Amino acid sequence: MTPTKAAIRSEAERLFAAFRAAGAVPVEADILLPAETLLDLYGEDIRARAYITNDPLCGEMVLRPDFTVPVVQAHMVHGADPARYCYLGEVFRKQNPRESRANEYLQVGFELFDRIAPEEADAEIFALFARLLAPLELRTTTGDIGILMAAVRGLSTSNKRKQALLRHIWRPKRFCQLLNRFAGRAPIPKARARLLERLATDTPEALIKAAGTFVGLRSPEEISARTAALIEDAASPALAESEATLLYDLLNLQAPAQTALAHLQSIATMMPAIMPAVDRFATRLKALQGRGIDTATLPFETNLGGTSLEYYDGFVFNFHAADTALPPIASGGRYDALTGVLGQGQSIPAVGGVIRPDLVARLKGSVT
């Protein structure tokens, strides 16, 4: 049942009022935003789905695809510490024409900036969302992409390989392809292998000259640097089998949160780099328990967030309907690094989430 605009607006106002009652200060964000910084931070998915235009005075602009980045930008300029914000407004995203998803919809959100007790802040946000959405009996999943990032940073391999894996952590298929290649479990792509064969006998400069007329956006210097990086990578030893196995274990971990904690603590004895992130996970579970969340049954997936917005770097969560064709009814997570990127040298731990009032109204209409 498709809800009316009035029903959606009413639901949005109800959620917005609940966020204000939880201590959040209402904030606004421009609908038309500078595109360059915004799209770099959101990642490839939203970049491909954003409505972009060129303004003769302001340059490339984008219709607001989300509230978090502009809210963080405003907070890092003159925000209080700690701070809680809420917002209500339209966001805009292109959709696959084969899917019947809205390209303009209301978003209601809550953002919390608190450097004193980040795990308590995670629990506060999640428990608030769980309480507001409880009547809908949604399927909930939590995760912690920070554990996976810590594991990658602790690998015994080159920094370039670590950065490649971290860059694709939000694209699970590509991430696994790289991991397989770095671990020696998959061959080098054929095109790259042929190029490396040529580079074994010819310099990059000779190959560029032999190619004839220069075509493309990359300069000869950039091409030479890229080929040097390929040669360096090909000479790097394979990732240790034991590390690759542990990383695959992390990628595939899906279990109730308390069970997942015990498993992660055992992995941490063999992969010490993840211990601080696992300790934060344990602290978060205690905070969730303190707010009435049953962590013995709360679903957890280490890799949850791997297809989410690229600014998430810690705790993540989703609320889904039984109808798997629907996008998440609500989602959110921790984005500490984002505040550092936008803070010009300043940073503060931050977590937030959004709810789709149109989907909430739709689900309410289907059960009335």
- Which tens digit of pLDDT belongs to each residue from 87-135? 999 999 887 766 677 889 999 999 999 999 999 999 999 999 999 999 9
Q: Out of 40-54, 93-107, 309-323, pick the least confident.
A: 40-54
Query: What is the band of 238 on the pLDDT scale with cuts at 50, 70, 90?
Result: confident
Mean pLDDT, residues 247-267? 95
Q: Are residues 112 and 166 in the same domain?
A: no
Residue among 244, 333, 351 at smallest CA distance from 24: 351
**Final residue in a domain of this structure, among 237, 256, 281:** 237
Tell me the C-alpha distance between 226 and 239, whole Å: 22
Mean pLDDT, residues 228-242? 74
Helices 118-133 and 5-21: crossing angle in degrees, nearest 10, is: 140
Higher pLDDT, 251 or 208: 251
Q: Are residues 124 and 159 in the same domain?
A: no
Q: Is residue 124 part of a domain?
A: yes
- Which tens digit of pLDDT belongs to each residue from 178-233? 999 898 877 777 666 676 666 666 666 666 666 656 556 566 666 666 666 666 66
Q: Is residue 226 part of a domain?
A: yes
pLDDT of 256 strictly over 90: yes
**How does the average pLDDT of the chain come out, rounded?**
87
pLDDT of amino acid 150:
96
**Final residue in a domain of this structure, among 320, 338, 359:** 320
pLDDT of amino acid 221:
65
Q: Is residue 224 part of a domain?
A: yes
pLDDT of amino acid 220:
64
pLDDT of amino acid 368:
45
Give this prediction's pTM.
0.87
Helix (H, G, I), strand (E, B) or coil at 185: coil
Mean pLDDT, residues 48-62? 84
pLDDT of amino acid 308:
60
CATH code of residue 359? 3.30.930.10
Q: Out of 110-114, 212-216, 245-249, 259-263, pick the least confident.
A: 212-216
pLDDT of 44 strictly over 90: no
Q: Is residue 22 part of a domain?
A: yes
Q: Which residues of 114-127 are buried (b: 16+ CB within 10 A; e: fewer)?
A: beeebbbbbbbbbb
Report the alpha-carbon angle 141-19-355, nearest 5.
40
Q: Is residue 73 part of a domain?
A: yes
Q: Is residue 178 part of a domain?
A: no
Q: Are residues 5 and 78 in the same domain?
A: yes
Q: Is residue 290 part of a domain?
A: yes
Task: Give, in order, the Cα–Cα distances in Å from 250 to each of 69, 140, 201, 274, 308.
Answer: 29, 20, 41, 10, 18
pLDDT of amino acid 67:
93
The C-alpha torsion from 221 through 224 and 228 to 231, rounded to 10°, is 160
Mean pLDDT, residues 63-72? 91
Count of the separate structural domains present in the chain: 3
Higher pLDDT, 40 or 75: 75
Q: Are residues 36 and 108 in the same domain?
A: yes
Q: Are residues 21 and 83 in the same domain?
A: yes
**How far is Cα of residue 279 from the mean position of the Cα atoms in its chain?**
21
* Percent of the chain whose predicted confidence (pLDDT) is above 90: 55
Q: Are residues 168 and 232 in the same domain?
A: no
Tell me the C-alpha distance between 243 and 233, whole Å: 18
Q: Are residues 91 and 195 in the same domain?
A: no
**Structural contact between residues 153 and 166, judged by C-beta atoms closer than 8 angstroms:** yes
Q: Out of 11-15, 66-70, 209-213, pick the least confident.
A: 209-213
Q: Are residues 209 and 63 in the same domain?
A: no
**Final residue in a domain of this structure, among 281, 301, 320:** 320
Contacts with 224 (C-beta within 8 Å, 6 or more apart), sequence order: 204, 205, 208
Mean pLDDT, residues 301-318? 82
Q: Are residues 204 and 283 in the same domain?
A: no
Q: Are residues 134 and 159 in the same domain?
A: no
Structural domain boundaries enclosing 229: 185-237
Tell me the C-alpha distance between 133 and 139, whole Å: 10
Q: Are residues 20 and 150 in the same domain?
A: no
Mean pLDDT, residues 261-280? 97
Tell me the C-alpha distance between 231 and 200, whole Å: 9
Q: Are residues 118 and 196 in the same domain?
A: no
Q: Is residue 180 part of a domain?
A: no
* Percent of the chain whose predicted confidence (pLDDT) is above 70: 82
pLDDT of amino acid 356:
97
pLDDT of amino acid 212:
59
Mean pLDDT, residues 3-25? 96
